[in-house]
Structure 1
Amino acid sequence: MGDHSVDLWAHPRLVSAIASEDWAAVLRTYRQLAGGVSQTRLGERVGLSQSDVSDIERGRRRVTSVEVRQRIVEGLGIPDRLLYGAARPDPGPVASLALPGLAPDEDLLARVTSAVIGSTRPDSATLDWFDRLLAEHRRAEDLIGSRPLVDVMRQQLRTVVGLHGCAAGALSDRVVRLAAEHAQFLAWMAQDQGASAAALAWYDRSHEWALESGDANMAATTLSMKAHMAWSGGRGTRCVRLAEAARWSAPGTSRGVQGMAAQMAARGHALNGEGDDARHLLDEAQELIGRAAERSEDEPPWMYFYDETWFTLQRGMAELHLGGWRAAIDQLTTGLAALPDHYRRDKTWYRSCLAHAFAGAGEAPEALAIAIGCLPDAAAVGRPHSWNELHTTAAVLLRHDAKEGRELISVLKQYD
């Protein structure tokens, strides 16, 4: 960028644009302050075509993809201090990653900090703290959605990977396992935001690290989550095959991880309209989840959500695909009533599915009421999956020639 870089990132217009994530203003202001850089040259830096840059600057295209946002951040070299809030003091290389109430004690903080900068080897207490921090971020994502956490988790993964060169023996394997868990979480968040290519890349990286560290549970989980991606894309047969691979390719997995793979295969069969196969596998998965609950200490930490409530919702999803509208309504209603409020993103998703089930059953007023009720959360934390399901609900209502379909489309447009 040249000698102007320090002054450029201190300019109030650019600082303000970055803080508000106004990427059109970021690109325009950057080009002006950098001496009139052309749209073509700027596009080369951030991996976009000249026409893409022009569309963003003119407001014809919004930056909603995590990957495009990251290209801009990395291509322009935007400092972390601006991305995380210019007014926030810099607490050091790792303290800024902590959630409220999760900062390590003074002695542990000193050891974590020195391990991160490479002067000492990480110890068990350091890695315990990163385990706890990751678990809390997973639960935070249930409430606030993935978008606010992506950059934090990228930085946290970089920090964990940086520990590997200083670790030895069993601690080295543990660092790799921890990196695999971070990569899997990043994959899930990319998938949640519709960035399929990025999600697949992260799942592949997580799977590789899981195999390297001998973590059968994570190796199987990444395959189950890739099956989930196939299901989300309407590819039932691929979903079934990936879920089956999760079951046989990683022996020695926990009951919960086996149950997840079985229910994912069931969802693939349901998507294909294969009701007998779907229900048989759901019965098998339910038996596995019951056995997992008896020995919850054997389950990996990312399986914290896998319980009877979650499984009831999965049965509802399968019935939705099979056109068993009343069964889907009953299962989804029961599951939603038991789902804690801190699962804000999941509640939004399953409510949108419940609206779809009511629409399929021809109960248009109920479908509309539920859809409108979950719109604010869908706009805040549920996109794109909840959003797509609400549009599907509107389409089903229109096929039934229900006036509620037109009403729902009108309300959806207010949020688009």
Structure 2
Amino acid sequence: MAGQTPWTDTRLRAAWARGDWGAVLREYRRAAGLSQRQLEPLVGMPQPHISAIESGRRRVLTPEVKARITEGLAVPSDLTTAQPTGWAPPPELRERVAHAYATGRADARTAAYLRDVLAQHRRAEDEGSGAPLWHVVRSQLDAVTRLLPDTAGPAADELLLLAAEHAHWLSWVAWSQNHRGEALAWLDTAHGWAIDGGHTDMASWVMRVRSHFFLTSGDPVRALRTAEAARQSIDLSPGARSAATHQTAQAAAAVGERDRARRLADEALDLALQVPDESDRPGWLYFLDETRARLQHAATAYACRDWATAAGELRAALPALEGYPRDHAYYAQRLADAERRA
């Protein structure tokens, strides 16, 4: 499973989560680089039937045809289990983690595959809503936690980190869908798993996200308190400390501590520039390249009402975001506002 497979593709997995069989066939062909004719032997149906399903002229209704497609396209097991319901973390996940240090060895290939898929989901969420992938990632988290009772030592620690990364992603999407209490519950779960596995970078990052949630919901005092806790975590990598320090700068600006915010913003930028290569940062900080670091510095200038500084820094960095329409639109709006106020 660790090799290249069409099922790492986010659009394909989202189509499966929707139960859209026409899109499943279409997106599988796109991801695998196959024609409808080439798909025939996999799903056991002629090209005209495949075309009719993809176009919506024919529906997939019988269990036999669904099973044929599922087996022929080698749908991974994390997607074929029953889809989880609800937005909050269920007790069975914690029960599995409670037995994480039994003797045995996990399927490392499955864990590696799920880590690769989660990385794809992070990048997909950058370009739009993660909501269509909610059930997919929840199923993946089930698959990760099912590995834990058969795992011990360092392998279990790595699985706990992978579980925490999934829980963090779920919190982000839950918050974006206005499931605020459930989002905080997922963050609590992610933080506990990160601590249990000895992953200080992830534990700090989760607190940083919690601070962001508080700041965007109008509670800057709590945001600052939480960001400071994230920043004070011991043994942080430069990238993780940069993220926590930037969030502290944002919260400090929001409570009126502008001089402190400016100093923290400079520190966050310096830390980010120490790790320019993605491989030198934790996986969830893949985005924190020099461009993003300078945009974050500009964001603090904006929060401090240093309009001319913010406008100049945003103007210089914004062209590099052309491939990220949502973020480009956000910073472009900030640039226009800063230029108007300068």
Greater relative contact order, per chain length (Cα 8 Å cut-off, separation 6+): 2
Q: Which residue of 1 aligns with 2:261?
A: 278
TM-score normalised according to structure 1 size: 0.56
1:230 to 205, 209, 214: 214
Give the superposition deviation at 1:224.
Answer: 0.8
Is the alpha carbon distance of 1:269 and 1:88 closer, same or farther for their aligned partners in structure 2, counting shifts above 3 Å? farther
Q: How does 1:212-231 map to 2 (within 5 A)?
A: 212-231=196-215
- What does 1:28-47 correspond to in 2, within 5 Å? none
AA in 1 matched with 2:300: A
Q: Percent identity?
A: 37
> Who is 1:304 aligned against?
286
SS at match of 2:287: coil
CA contact (8 A) 1:273 1:321 kept: no
In structure 2, do the counterparts of structure 1 residues 200 and 322 end up closer, same or farther at CA, with 3 Å as the change threshold? Answer: same
Q: CA deviation at 1:134?
A: 1.0
Q: What count of residue pairs does the alignment treat as equivalent?
A: 255
Residues 317, 328 of structure 1: 8 Å contact kept = yes
Gaps (5+ residues) in structure 1? Answer: 1-17, 21-80, 98-119, 362-416
Distance, in Å, in 2 between the alignment partners of 1:206 and 1:88 is 37
Give yes or no for the alignment of 1:292 onto 2:241: no
Report if the CA contact (8 A) 2:278-2:289 is conserved: no
Residue identity in the other structure for 1:228: H
Which residue in 2 is equivalent to 1:89? 69
Q: Secondary structure at the match of 2:275?
A: helix
Letter in 2 for 1:259: S
Q: In the alignment, residue 303 of structure 1 is paired with which amino acid?
A: L
- Aligned 1:296-335 pairs, distance under 5 A: 297-335=279-317
Q: Distance in 1 between matches of 2:216 and 2:303?
A: 12
Partner Cα separation in structure 2 for residue 193 and residue 315 of structure 1: 28
Residue 169 of structure 1 pairs with residue 132 of structure 2: no
Q: How does 1:13-24 map to 2 (within 5 A)?
A: none
User: What is the CA distance between 1:179 and its match in structure 2?
Assistant: 0.4
The higher radius of gyration belongs to: 1
* Cα-to-partner distance string for 1:294-321 (whole Å, 9 max, x where unaligned): x754421111111221122222222222
When structure 1 is superposed on structure 2, of 351-360 and 298-307 the one drifting more is 351-360
Question: Who is 1:73 aligned against?
Answer: none
The amino acid across from 1:267 in the alignment is Q
Q: Per-residue deviation at 1:220?
A: 0.6
User: In structure 1, what is the Cα distance between the partners aligned to 2:183 and 2:78?
Assistant: 27
Quick one: which amino acid aligns to residue 328 of structure 1? A
For residues 139-168 of structure 1, give each alpha carbon's deviation from its aligned partner in whole angstroms, at most 9, with x where no partner exists. 111123212221211111111111112223
- Unaligned 5+ residue runs, structure 2? 1-17, 21-60, 81-103
1:255-301 deviation per Cα after TM superposition (whole angstroms, max 9, x unaligned): 010011111110011112322111101111111112223x7544211
Given that residues 271 and 318 in structure 1 are in contact (C-alpha distance below 8 angstroms), is that contact kept between their aligned partners in structure 2?
no
Instruction: Tell me how far apart the structure 2 counterparts of residues 199 and 143 of structure 1 sit (CA, whole Å).
Output: 21
Give yes or no for contact 2:79–2:136 (8 Å, CA) kept in 1: no
Q: Which residue of 2 aligns with 1:158?
A: 142
Deviation track 1:354-399 (CA, whole Å, cap 9, x = no partner) reads 34334545xxxxxxxxxxxxxxxxxxxxxxxxxxxxxxxxxxxxxx
Match of 2:181 in 1: 197
Q: Assess, with a 3 A threshold, how the Cα gap between structure 1 residues 321 and 170 changes in structure 2: closer, same or farther.
A: closer
Deviations 1:41-63 (A, max 9, x none): xxxxxxxxxxxxxxxxxxxxxxx
Q: What's the CA shift for 1:217?
A: 0.8
The alpha-carbon deviation at position 96 of structure 1 amounts to 4.4
Relative to 1, partners in 2 of residues 1:163 and 1:332: Cα closer, same or farther, differing over 3 Å? same
AA matched with 1:321: A
Alpha-carbon distance in structure 2 between the residues aligned to 1:196 and 1:177: 23
Deviations, residues 218-244 of structure 1 (Å, cap 9, x unaligned): 011101111111221232222222111
Shift of 1:121: 4.9
Residue 114 of structure 1 is matched in structure 2 by: none
* 1:123 and 1:171 in contact (8 A); partners too: no
**Contact 1:235–1:268 (CA under 8 A) maintained in structure 2:** no
